[in-house]
Amino acid sequence: MTVSRADGVVEWADFRNPHRRDRDYTGLGPYTFDERQAVAAISELRRALVAHGT
């Protein structure tokens, strides 16, 4: 998977699984997110994981 950021947008694309090379993920994505919302969601997840000792 590639993650790119430009002009306030985060994009997830080029999905693949190195453990299942025979699977086709071309129909998955790309997904785009507002950069501020994406950063806030990732920060919230990080805080929750730290709080739970994960």
Neighbours of 33 (CB within 10 A): 15
pLDDT of 45 > 80? The answer is: yes
Rounded Cα–Cα distance for residues 39 and 35 (Å) = 6
Q: Which residues contact 33 (CB under 8 A, 6 or more apart)?
A: 9, 10, 11, 12
Secondary structure (DSSP) of 1-54: -EEEEETTEEEEE----TT-TT---TTS--EEEEHHHHHHHHHHHHHHHHHTT-
Judged against a pLDDT cut of 90, whether residue 40 lies above it is answered with yes
* Mean pLDDT to the nearest integer, 40-54: 93
pLDDT of 31: 97
- Quick: pLDDT tens for 11-37: 999 999 999 999 999 999 999 999 999
pTM of the entire structure? 0.73
54 has pLDDT over 80: no
